[in-house]
Structure 1
Amino acid sequence: MKRSIVLLVIVLILAGAAVYQNKGKHDDALAASSDMLPKPGYTAPTLNLPDLQDKSVAIGGKRDKLLLVNFWASWCYPCEMEAPDLLSLAKDYDGKLEILGINATSVDKERQAREFVDQQKLSFPILMDRDGDAQKLYKVNSFPISLLVDSNGIVRERIEGVISKAQWKGFIDKWLDAENDSKASAST
């Protein structure tokens, strides 16, 4: 019993020393372990999901612009409440912001999801998470959940539930400004 406790203490000390030695050696994004994904400051998980025409679309990784990833379900009343704001944001930030809606098809009905898209007149790409892989990777267990991901693939915001359009604009403008500042400083 005492030997087990001593071994456990040694392992904990060595793990602490390893963490201390590697602290600060990563750049902007921290290496993410599966139990920590996805938090602001960590790399967004990458995977491909089919859109409504079954064309594969990549999520995560480097992009040309800021990305808003929105997880939703057709039976989710808060998702229905936020859909008009997301559509409006897509129009307001056309060319500056990419929006991907991810339907939780593994816990939804695809027919109802397609009807929801038609009723809400959603014009941004809608992806179908038929096997729940994206929900698992992004640790989604309620709806809606949205993430803002910068052009380097780093999660900048994780929003659980519905927020106002003004709050959305605040987050989006903040990260668009940060990206513009980063590009400006890189070119000088």
Structure 2
Amino acid sequence: MATAMLSKTVPGVLLGSTSSRRSPLAFSSGCTTRVLRALAPRPAPAGPTSSGRAVALVVRASNEEKEVQYNKEFGYSRKDVILIGVGLIALGYALYYGLQAGGMEPGMAGNWVQLIIFMGICVGWVSTYIFRVATKQMTYVKQLEQYEEAVMRKRVEEMTEAELEQLASEVDADKQRKAAARAAAQQQQQ
């Protein structure tokens, strides 16, 4: 009864049952989602498991939906993952029968294939991680850069014309100062 009243009185509210703990209330505005805690009374169904249940409310702040952008690089789609798996299996079979053709016993060939494939995957994965750390292409670093960019964009949007002109003049003065310092450094080197 309480869920029916809530869904009729509040447009755009999605209701669902959760565990007996407080349910998260997700509030989305633009690209950010805030999770709030709420406990709403709900009539309990008959039976021994009818102890306090909560209702999760999801409210959308705007009707604007951002378009989802998918990663188009190799290895990020289901098709690519399936191709990688099939390739590893084919490599295993090729190594197995290749080692047998070279005169190795089937049991020993299987052990070597397992060792080679396992070590190849481990070394390959660890090397990609080390590469991402070295080039600062980790998820946290990217998220931090995106956040800083969004904050700066928001600050520029909130600036008045006079503040923007003053900022532009400061940037030009800084560029001229750096160019003069480079020119002086080049003259000292010669």
TM range (shorter): under 0.3
Name the structure where strand makes up a greater proportion of residues. 1
TM-score after normalising by structure 1: 0.20
TM-score after normalising by structure 2: 0.20
With a CA cutoff of 8 Å and minimum separation of 6, indicate the structure with the bigger relative contact order. 1
Q: If you compute each CA radius of gyration, which structure gives the higher value, 1 or 2?
A: 2
